Chains A and B, each alone.
Chain A
Amino acid sequence: MTKTILTVDDSRTMRDMLMLALKGAGYRVVQAEDGVHGLEVLRAENPDIVITDINMPRMDGFGFIEGMRADPDHKATPVLVLTTESDAAKKQRAREAGATGWIVKPFDPAKLVDAVRRVAA
């Protein structure tokens, strides 16, 4: 069965890149533009996997993941965080918020898909 991935990113460029890479790998992709929007789409679409950016207007990635984990339906949905920062502090913060893993930008499509595959049941 085709898996659905929700990507949350305020940058149109990044959304297009994610769409291109993930669609090419055979996933169904739904997208949101910030954390608030992300939670709405999350509830509407029940994705299997979520990929989120950190720096976004209205609600950032940390807030989004916390909101997601607070929802019993999405407590166990894997979340990958997109981050340009590779330092331990950022990852730690993401982990504390409940992120499953991370993807360091800039990513190449193969790496992205591989990271997704690693957390996808």
Chain B
Amino acid sequence: MSDDPFEAIKVTFFQECSELLGDLETNLLALETGEGDIETINAVFRAVHSVKGGAGAFGLEDLVRFAHVFETLMDELRSGRKECDDVTVKTLLRASDVLADHIAAAQGTGAPVDAARSAGLVAELEVLTHGQATPAVAAAPVVADEDDFGFKPLTLDLADFGAPAELPSLDLPALDLPSLDLPDLAAPSAAALTAGWRIVFRPHPRLYASANDVSLLLRELTRLGQTSVELDASGLPSLEALDAEDAHLIWTIVLTGDVTEAAVRDVFDFVEMDCDLSITALDGGSPSAETALPPLPVLDAAPAEPAFDLAALLAQAKAPVEAAPVAAPAPVAAAPKPVAPAAPAPAAPSPVASAPAAAPSAPAAVAPVTIRVDLDRVDRLINVVGELVIQQAMLAQRVMESGLARSSDIALGLEDLELLTRDIQDSVMAIRAQPVKSVFQRMPRLVREVAEMTGKRVRLVTSGEDTEVDKTVVERLAEPITHMLRNAIDHGLESPEEREAAGKPAEGTVRLAALHRSGRIVIEIADDGKGINRPRVRGIAVDRGLIAEDAVLTDDEVDNLIFLPGFSTAETITDVSGRGVGMDVVRRSIQALGGRISISSNPGKGSTFTLSLPLTLAVLDGMVVSAAGQTLVAPLSAIVESLTPRIEDVHYVGGHDAVIRFREEFVPMVDVGRVMGFRDDATTLTGGVVMIVETEAGSRAALLVDAINGQRQVVIKSLETHYRQVDGVSAATILGDGSVALILDIDALVIAGHRKSNRPELKMAS
């Protein structure tokens, strides 16, 4: 077997693991809140069991061992031998965290597992399982049973396979000729033979009922060495009295060759409980019979009932469920499997996929039918649909310009086309959409850990996990949400004592919610803690020189100071929300996704952070502007306000660096046409328009353009893949009139503006 498919399955395994971990978490949380039942426990068991099974297949020993201990406890729980109490669920939750660590370590994506923590949990799980910790032995007898299959498949001529039924016939003639030369089993002439075994085998009805087949067992024996087989059918009742599902035959097989007893026993491995079996060494060695059979009356069988047809009988022995063969004697060799119906049509291309459709009556949660598609293909489709949208817009514009009546057939047809195009675009975008669940699912663990570290008691309530948003957005949401949750617990919530003193429940609540609002996704993180300490925030901002001591700020403005770079409310950086990154980092990563973040706080009652993000990164809400004859698009999310500048508000620093007074604040002006290199001379301000924009770092700038042409959704086209990276430009788009418009990279543009002005720092002029 080549390595590649195996590696591919390993990838599948880790994908499946992450899904299983998600299920695990969901189910354990259900148990925690008391919503779980026996099926929930079963589901947890299965998840752990599947992880263990796969891990075993890939030889991931540590993972197997941990999963085994976990699974053993789950087995106790599901059998009802152990009650699933609160302590147990809490331990299981922590165990699922460690299981996740083991998986990440095995996958090579995580740090090595904290051995002490893992061992501690193993001990805890064992205490819960057995009432006490057992010595290390408890770990994994998983691979133990090698011997079950320890038989060595001999390399035999494969031709044997095809015609298994031949073999009973080898010696069958013997039965027809009572005077055959075989009964000399024990005779001295046998000494000429090499060593071998005499096997007496009497199947029970159960053997047949479990679809085992004597002829197959005989075939296995022939693979081991030379055989001769005898059938004792003396136990057979008369035909009328015959119960087709009963067992009446005794087989005696003489196997010669250099074969170990274990190899012989292995052949009977599946059926040893369902038959009488004696295996005796041919050279007169010690018999190893486990069921003593009466000595076989070797040959009184065959002639007993001359009426019966042996061939039919044999067929019947092989297929005891079907009485018919008695009536229709068939040559032995031709009836390998009378019960099996004809093979199904090989034409069915995907039997598994088609099967569920056949029986929609399946109870309970039917997993949604999904297909896996290469992301590249989806993106290509999105790209082409983007072109379609542009083409449609161009066509509509041309038709309008041609002066056709709005009620004309062509104009009406175009309107329908436009609706369809939008439909297609939405549907295609929906392919990339994913529920935020994958991110939300990671949070309970984080909350547990942060709560443990800070000594606070926290309940996390999530809602809207099924809210969908573009895959890339989902992926990049994890970090900011993690950060904000940490903050909410570390800075927002009080200690249990403080909370009780304030008349609140000792356990704090953090809400994490996702919802769609006006074409964007909104994520809210709310705590019921103490709220923002405004005097303190203000003090820090003054200390750090972020605001003037006498600045007049509204409550809202004070709250939003925490987003300023370099602001950190924790006097000592804690383990939890520390690492020197503050809310400014969160804000920057949200802005990088075209999003916005805001906070509202209520002293003593708690704070709510609200993130608002675009649903997709393939379409952008833009402001179409023109500068020096070029059409440009500015991302709407960056624009704070636009205004027509008045000459008296504009001041020049050092003679040529312009700033504009905007709400009692001076903001540097960036002449877009000049910075972009569309023209060299400075603009005259008259007739221009200024857009106040906010950079990701939170500073403001005033972009001077010639005119604002309107707001529009544009399809983002990467410039780098078609041309090259251009400073100040993040991407391009094609407008309805077919012209290409550049999408401005506000941050880069502002920085470029500073550079052009040749001044490291702008000071107020007046």
Contacts and interface: CB of A to CB of B under 8 A. Distances in A.
Contacts of A30: 351-352
Interface in B345-371: 346, 348, 351-352, 354-356, 358-359, 362-364, 367
B9 interface: yes
A20 B216 contact: no
Interface string A15-48: 0110011001000101111001100110011101
A102 interface: yes
B509 to A, nearest CB: 33
Nearest to A43: B358
A1 interface: yes
Interface in A54-79: 55-58, 69, 72-73, 75-79
Contacts of B482: none
Contacts, number: 176
Contacts of A51: none
Interface stretch (B204-212, B587-595, B677-685): B204-212
B346 A28 contact: yes
A13 B13 contact: yes
Nearest to A80: B270
B16 A11 contact: yes
B107 interface: no
A76 B8 CA distance: 35
A106 B362 CA distance: 30
B343 A105 contact: no
A117 B219 CA distance: 11
Interface stretch (B48-56, B115-123, B416-424, B660-668): B48-56
A65 to B, nearest CB: 9
Interface string B442-486: 000000000000000000000000000000000000000000000
B358 A16 contact: no
A55 B45 contact: yes
B57 A106 contact: yes
Contacts of B151: 114
B340 A105 contact: no
B242 interface: no
Contacts of A76: 208, 211, 319, 321-322, 337, 339-340
A45 B267 CA distance: 29
B307 interface: no
B308 interface: no
A45 B347 CA distance: 11
A10 B50 contact: yes
Contacts of A16: 8-9, 12
B153 A57 contact: no
A48 B343 contact: yes
Given A84-B56, A121-B213, A100 B50 contact: no
Contact of B336 (A21, A46, A121): A121
A114 B6 CA distance: 19
A113 to B, nearest CB: 9
A45 B344 contact: yes
B46 interface: yes
B652 interface: no
Nearest to B17: A13
Interface stretch (B139-147, B169-177, B521-529, B726-734): B139-147
Contacts of A17: 9, 57
A102 B49 contact: no
Contact of A77 (B45, B144, B340, B343): B340
Interface footprint category on A? 35 or more
Contacts of B42: 57
B43 interface: yes
Contact of B273 (A84, A92, A114): A92
B343 A46 contact: yes
B708 to A, nearest CB: 53
A100 B212 contact: yes
Contact of B352 (A11, A14, A31, A56): A31
B210 A99 contact: yes
A4 B161 contact: no
A20 B46 contact: no
A41 B680 CA distance: 74
Given A17-B9, A31-B352, A101-B269, A48 B340 contact: yes
A2 B161 CA distance: 13
B9 A75 contact: no
A118 B220 contact: yes
Nearest to A39: B359
B56 to A, nearest CB: 4
B364 A95 contact: no
A121 B358 contact: no
B578 interface: no
Given A104-B148, A114-B153, A84 B274 contact: no
Contacts of B319: 76
Contacts of B351: 30, 41, 44-45
Contacts of B270: 100-102, 118-119
Contacts of B269: 101
Contact of B46 (A55, A77, A103): A55
A24 B2 CA distance: 10
Contacts of A77: 211, 339-340
B429 to A, nearest CB: 28
B503 interface: no
B270 to A, nearest CB: 4
Interface string B233-272: 0000000000000000000000000000000000101100
A86 B339 contact: no
A37 B142 CA distance: 28
A40 B356 CA distance: 7
A46 B345 CA distance: 10
Contacts of A21: 1
15 contacts: A11-B54, A13-B50, A16-B12, A20-B1, A36-B363, A46-B342, A46-B344, A55-B45, A57-B46, A76-B321, A86-B144, A86-B148, A99-B210, A101-B269, A107-B57
Given A46-B342, A48-B337, A121-B340, 15 more contacts: A1-B343, A28-B346, A32-B355, A36-B363, A40-B358, A45-B351, A48-B343, A55-B49, A75-B209, A75-B339, A98-B209, A104-B145, A105-B56, A118-B270, A121-B337
Interface of B: 1, 5-6, 8-9, 12-13, 15-16, 42-43, 45-46, 49-50, 52-54, 56-57, 59, 141-145, 148-149, 151, 153, 161, 164, 206, 208-213, 215-216, 220, 267, 269-270, 273-274, 319, 321-322, 336-337, 339-344, 346, 348, 351-352, 354-356, 358-359, 362-364, 367
Interface of A: 1-4, 10-14, 16-17, 20-21, 24, 28, 30-33, 36-37, 40-41, 44-46, 48, 55-58, 69, 72-73, 75-79, 84, 86, 92, 95, 98-107, 109-111, 114-115, 117-121
Closest 4 CB pairs of A and B: A86-B145, A101-B270, A106-B56, A76-B339
